[in-house]
């Protein structure tokens, strides 16, 4: 598995499929996905839930600068992160501290990534979660059916006291999580994504953090300026039709036949549907499913050269693609590979003559 800083690559001259565009983003841009939620006595459970509620609020209320390390397998990367709240909307600027210089910014239009000696890459919101530390509404009545929430004690991270909260998956359809919540601010200072045996699949941790900083730190400011330049260039490229964009207006009533065969694993529900357009004018349906914490997307589009056939994995993000009838279907999200396989196999079985 390549380190996150190896995943932003120079774009090829020819038009790339949307999945290849997604794969060009660093894994830390896909942290994929949910940042939220592990039971014992009622008081301990209430404490754990209160910590998660506080963490969810901190992520949209507290500003910070810090150094973040990402570990997946034997790959280790370091990033400088600046998290700001602009008009109530959280966003990040990131600068890689290992490998070639790369910058990434999450903004109102989505995510943009600056690549060395290459054209900028922009992915709109329609391609899924984009926040480095995303937050979701907490519905504990639903989450408790598929996760056990546990207060696991205290631990020091980046020289600060944290409360450790676990969210243990009750089945193999989703990952488990372990959050180290800063006692003072409520921010998660370390996040472990766990497999069904409780082993870390990936880990992210702050080695230093400045909470509610004054003026933007020099390194973070450099990341913000670089990513801002990328954003302007990327939006200019979008205007010329060089990149996939979300279709405007309400989604058409027409639904691809493959979508009718979509069956979800236990606990997952469809939470949104969007219609996107490819560079070549092809129509893409995106269905987003979530259990309140984990999520994945199902993309349905006309067949194309280079489309994913079979499984692929980027850190904790799993993807599997194949043909269902005359449509290319790709399932991608921060879920175990077996979950993505199951969704596609159910569609293939129901879609076969």
Beta strands in 200-326 (DSSP E): 200-211, 245-246, 269-277, 283-290, 295-301, 310-314, 317-324
Could you tell me the pLDDT band of residue 91, with boundaries at 50, 70 and 90? confident
Q: Given a cut of 60, is residue 221 above it in pLDDT?
A: no
pLDDT of residue 80: 94
Q: Higher pLDDT residue, 42 or 190?
A: 190
pLDDT of 216 reads: 47
* Mean pLDDT, residues 307-336 taken together: 91
- pLDDT of 122 reads 46
Q: Quick check: 99 and 2 in contact, CB under 8 A?
A: no
List, in sequence order, the alpha helices (H) in 148-307: 218-239
> How large is the average pLDDT for residues 161-176?
95
pLDDT range class, residue 300, cuts 50, 70, 90: very high
Decide if pLDDT at 141 tops 50: yes
Query: Average pLDDT, stretch 285-297?
Result: 91
Give the range among 150-159, 198-207, 236-245 with minimum mean pLDDT.
236-245
Contacting residues for 80 by C-beta, under 8 A, at least 6 apart: 65, 66, 67, 68, 94, 95, 97, 217, 219, 220, 223
pLDDT of the residue at 9? 43
Taking a C-beta distance cutoff of 8 angstroms, is the pair 265, 173 a contact?
Answer: yes
pLDDT at 36 over 60: no
Q: Work out the pLDDT band at 110, boundaries 50, 70, 90.
A: low
The mean per-residue pLDDT over the stretch 54-71 comes to 91
For 15-24, what is the mean pLDDT? 50
Dist CA 293 CA 42 (whole Å): 22
Higher pLDDT, 344 or 31: 344
**Spatial contact of 277 and 308, defined as CB atoms under 8 Å apart:** no
Give the SS3 label for residue 349: helix
Residues 232-271 have pLDDT tens digits of: 333 333 333 334 444 433 444 455 556 666 889 999 999 9
- Of the listed ranges 33-47, 66-80, 96-110, 133-147, the one predicted with least confidence: 33-47
CA 77 to chain centroid: 17
User: Does 130 have pLDDT greater than 90?
Assistant: no
- In this prediction, residue 169 carries a pLDDT of 95
Is the predicted pLDDT of residue 119 greater than 70, yes or no? Answer: no
Mean pLDDT of 339-344: 94
Residue 94 and residue 88: Cα distance in Å, rounded?
Answer: 20
Q: What is the mean pLDDT of the chain?
A: 75
* Residue 226 in tokens: 């670089």
- CA neighbor of 72 nearest in space, from 196, 193, 157, 207: 193
pLDDT beyond 80 at 311:
yes
**Mean pLDDT, residues 270-283 taken together:** 88
Q: Is the pLDDT of residue 225 over 60?
A: no
Rounded-to-integer distance, Cα 17 and Cα 12, Å: 11
Does the global pTM surpass 0.75? no
Burial of 102 (0-12, 13-18, 19+ CB in 10 A): buried
Residues 334-349 have a mean pLDDT of 90
First to last CA, the chain: 38
Count other C-beta atoms under 10 Å from residue 58's C-beta: 19
Stretch 298-327: mean pLDDT, rounded? 91
pLDDT value, residue 8 = 45
């Amino acid at each position: 598995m390549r380190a996150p800083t190896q995943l932003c690559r120079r774009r090829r001259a020819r038009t790339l499929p949307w999945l290849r565009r997604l794969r060009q983003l660093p894994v830390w841009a896909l942290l994929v996905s949910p940042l939220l939620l592990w039971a014992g006595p009622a008081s301990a459970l209430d404490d754990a839930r209160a910590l998660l509620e506080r963490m969810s609020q901190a992520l949209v209320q507290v500003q910070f600068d810090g150094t973040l390390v990402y570990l997946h397998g034997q790959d280790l990367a370091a990033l400088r992160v600046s998290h700001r709240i602009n008009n109530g909307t959280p966003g990040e600027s990131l600068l890689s501290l290992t490998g070639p210089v790369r910058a990434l910014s999450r903004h109102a239009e989505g995510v943009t990534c600056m690549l060395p000696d290459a054209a900028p890459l922009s992915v709109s919101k329609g391609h899924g979660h984009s926040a480095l530390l995303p937050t979701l509404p907490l519905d504990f009545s639903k989450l408790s059916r598929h996760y056990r929430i546990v207060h696991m004690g205290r631990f020091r991270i980046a020289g600060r006291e944290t409360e450790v909260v676990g969210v243990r998956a009750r089945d193999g359809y989703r990952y488990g999580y372990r959050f180290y919540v800063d006692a003072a601010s409520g921010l998660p200072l370390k996040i472990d994504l766990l497999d069904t045996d409780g082993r870390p699949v990936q880990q992210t941790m702050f080695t230093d953090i400045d909470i509610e900083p004054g003026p933007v730190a020099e390194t973070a400011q450099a990341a913000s300026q670089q990513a801002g330049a990328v954003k302007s260039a990327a939006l200019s490229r979008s205007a010329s039709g060089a990149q996939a964009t979300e279709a405007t207006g309400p989604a058409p009533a027409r639904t691809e036949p493959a979508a009718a065969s979509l069956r979800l694993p236990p606990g997952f529900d469809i939470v949104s549907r969007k219609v996107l357009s490819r560079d070549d004018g092809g129509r893409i349906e995106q269905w987003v499913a979530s259990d309140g914490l984990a999520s994945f997307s199902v993309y349905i589009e006309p067949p194309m050269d280079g489309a994913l056939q079979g499984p692929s994995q980027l850190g904790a993000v799993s993807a599997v693609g194949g043909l269902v009838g005359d449509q290319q279907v790709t399932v991608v999200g921060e879920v175990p590979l077996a979950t993505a396989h199951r969704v596609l196999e159910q569609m293939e079985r129901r879609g076969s003559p």
